[in-house]
């Protein structure tokens, strides 16, 4: 049976087995290829399908999932979920009833279904040539490929709720190695969209080549506490590493320093942070979460004040709150919570104008690793690359430095927010952030 029929079957069989139940189901398909030295290196086609069930019996939740869409497998999954309720703690939640959601599939472009692997192959082979042509210093392109992805996801529950979402996208990327004076550098760039016409060969080749060569000629700088500007290229990654402290579950488990701080000032007046699922700023829209709750903009941090944490039904019940519509779950996992479209509202200055705020500063355009970063404590210790700037003018590249500090201090030291976003298609949009000081060691 197909995924829709399987969900309907599970709904029918689960009735009467528990007071409440909800289902998260998905069927995804991806196909892609990689190119090396003018030839297709490999191709890959993969499919994933499954149903995840949460039942609530005697107030206790139980989880189970199956990747087999047969009546027998579905019935066994229900029995497994009910069995597991004997081991869990009670939760006081009421699953949502059906509500009106916008019609259509804003995350799906039927025209993309016409795109073939053969077209992607031809594009990638030509892209490799174009990238090599950008610079004589490019000696190798070890990473170059394209992927097509599509997915159908369904949320259903015992109240008759049955929501379906479809999405698809295409991604093409290249990673180029350049050598100058015996020193090698790697530059990567990936472009994603659900409109093939937006995938520009010139843009990918230009950026991959630029990122591969931009840090040649790096010079040492004097370490210490200095102003730092996180470029829009990496500001989103930086913020995402520290997303979990804003989630209620982390606060309730004692793994967030923000526990009991809702309503208090935790950051600079210039800093705000939203979960913005339906904004026109994003290509991807999220109308309902993994529990079927309707989503909304959550202004998590507003002008420096920790305004509201992100909740699902279970964590909201523990806190005596309502869900913010941020429940997230794959069919094989338990319920969690996430940002739907992480967004830092733009300031008034361009990145170039932020650099002029300081007589001297470090513009960071790359981060390395992340093993020295902890969302629990907020500690930051990470390798960085970028450019030394004086009076807003780039002087020379800088590499091999380490940034050290604490996330909760950094957001208090935000003195400027840029107005440029790096990736139109990304679900994380954070402009450049100017930090008054951060420890930099060389």
pLDDT at 421: 96
Identify whether residues 53 and 120 lie together within a single domain: yes
290 and 349 co-located in one domain? yes
Rounded mean pLDDT of the chain?
A: 96
Average pLDDT over residues 228-240: 97
Q: Tens of pLDDT along 37-78?
A: 999 999 999 999 999 999 999 999 999 999 999 999 999 999
For residue 429, give the H/E element and its range: strand 428-429
Same domain (yes/no): 332, 400: yes
Report which secondary-structure segment, H or E, holds 8: helix 3-14
pLDDT in the model for residue 371: 83
Q: Give yes or no: residues 280 and 372 share one domain.
A: yes
pLDDT tens-digit profile of 360-410?
999 999 999 888 899 999 999 999 999 999 999 999 999 989 999 999 999
- Residues sharing a CB contact under 8 Å with residue 122, sequence separation 6 or more, in sequence order: none
**Is 404 found in the same domain as 373?**
yes
> Is the per-residue pLDDT at 16 higher than 90?
no
Give the pLDDT of residue 28: 97
Domain stops at, among 213, 235, 268: 213
Average pLDDT of the segment spanning 182-186: 94
CATH code of the domain covering residue 103 = 3.30.2290.10
CA distance 190 to 305: 35
Calculate the alpha carbon distances from 434 to 57, 230, 268, 441 in Å.
51, 6, 11, 18
Judging by DSSP bridges, how do beta strands 379-390 and 360-368 pair with one another?
antiparallel
One domain for residues 404 and 424:
yes
For residues 194 and 223, membership in a common domain is answered with no
142 and 268 in a common domain: no
Q: Are residues 15 and 131 in the same domain?
A: yes
Is the same domain home to 44 and 185?
A: yes
* Confidence at residue 55, expressed as pLDDT on a 0 to 100 scale: 97
Q: Determine the average pLDDT of the residues in 351-359.
A: 96
For residue 205, name the pLDDT band (cuts at 50, 70, 90). very high
> Are residue 232 and residue 208 in the same domain, yes or no?
no
How many Å apart are CA 10 and CA 369, to the nearest integer?
Answer: 43
Task: Express each pLDDT in 82-135 by its tens digit.
Answer: 999 999 999 999 999 999 999 889 999 999 999 999 999 999 999 999 999 999
pLDDT-based confidence at 141, cuts 50/70/90?
very high
Q: What percentage of the chain exceeds 90 in pLDDT?
A: 97
The SS3 assignment for 307 reads coil
* Residue that terminates a domain, selected from 187, 213, 239: 213
Q: What is the DSSP letter of 247?
A: B
Query: Does 328 score more than 90 pLDDT?
Result: yes
Q: Using one digit for the tens of pLDDT, what is the confidence trace for 154-165?
A: 999 999 999 999
Q: Identify whether residues 319 and 428 lie together within a single domain.
A: yes
Question: Of 183, 213, 243, which residue constitutes the final position of a domain?
Answer: 213
How many domains in the chain? 2
What is the extent of the structural domain holding 67? 3-213
Tell me: pLDDT of 240 over 90: yes
Q: What is the pTM of this model?
A: 0.93
């Amino acid at each position: 049976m197909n995924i829709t029929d399987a969900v309907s079957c599970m709904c029918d069989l689960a009735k009467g087995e528990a007071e409440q139940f909800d289902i998260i189901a998905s069927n995804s398909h991806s196909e892609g290829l990689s190119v090396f030295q003018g030839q297709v290196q490999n191709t890959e086609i993969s499919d994933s399908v499954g149903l995840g069930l949460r039942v609530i019996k005697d107030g206790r939740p139980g989880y189970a999932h199956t990747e087999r869409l047969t009546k027998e497998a579905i019935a066994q999954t229900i029995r497994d979920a009910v069995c597991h309720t004997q081991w869990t703690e009670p939760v006081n939640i009421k699953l949502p009833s059906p509500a009106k959601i916008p019609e259509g599939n804003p995350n799906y472009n039927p025209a993309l279904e016409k795109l073939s692997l053969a077209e992607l192959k031809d594009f990638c082979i030509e892209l490799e040539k174009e990238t090599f042509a950008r610079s004589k210093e490019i000696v190798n392109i070890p990473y170059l490929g394209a992927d097509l992805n599509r997915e159908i996801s369904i949320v259903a529950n015992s109240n008759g709720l049955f929501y379906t979402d479809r999405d698809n996208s295409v991604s093409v990327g290249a990673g180029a190695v350049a050598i100058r004076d015996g020193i090698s550098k790697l530059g990567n760039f990936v472009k994603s969209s659900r409109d093939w016409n937006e995938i520009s060969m010139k843009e990918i080749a230009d950026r991959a080549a630029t990122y591969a060569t931009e840090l040649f000629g790096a010079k040492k700088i004097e370490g210490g506490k200095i102003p730092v500007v996180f470029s829009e290229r990496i500001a989103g990654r930086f913020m995402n590493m520290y997303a979990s402290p804003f989630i209620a579950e982390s606060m309730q488990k004692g793994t967030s320093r923000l526990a009991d701080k809702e309503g208090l000032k935790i950051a600079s007046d210039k800093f705000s942070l939203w979960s913005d699922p339906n904004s026109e700023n994003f290509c991807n829209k999220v109308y309902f979460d993994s529990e079927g709750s309707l989503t909304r903009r959550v202004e998590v941090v507003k002008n420096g004040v920790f305004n509201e944490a992100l909740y699902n039904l279970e964590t909201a019940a523990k806190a005596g709150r309502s869900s913010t519509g941020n429940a997230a779950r794959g069919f094989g996992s338990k319920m969690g919570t996430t940002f739907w479209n992480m967004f830092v509202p733009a300031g008034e200055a361009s990145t170039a104008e932020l650099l002029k705020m300081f007589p001297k500063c470090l513009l960071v355009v790359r981060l390395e690793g992340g093993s020295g970063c902890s969302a629990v404590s907020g500690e930051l210790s990470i390798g960085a690359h970028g450019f030394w700037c004086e009076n807003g003018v780039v002087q020379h590249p800088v590499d091999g430095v380490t940034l050290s500090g604490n996330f909760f201090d950094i957001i208090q030291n935000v003195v400027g927010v840029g107005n440029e976003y790096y990736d139109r298609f990304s679900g994380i949009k954070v402009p450049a952030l100017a930090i008054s000081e951060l420890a930099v060691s060389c």
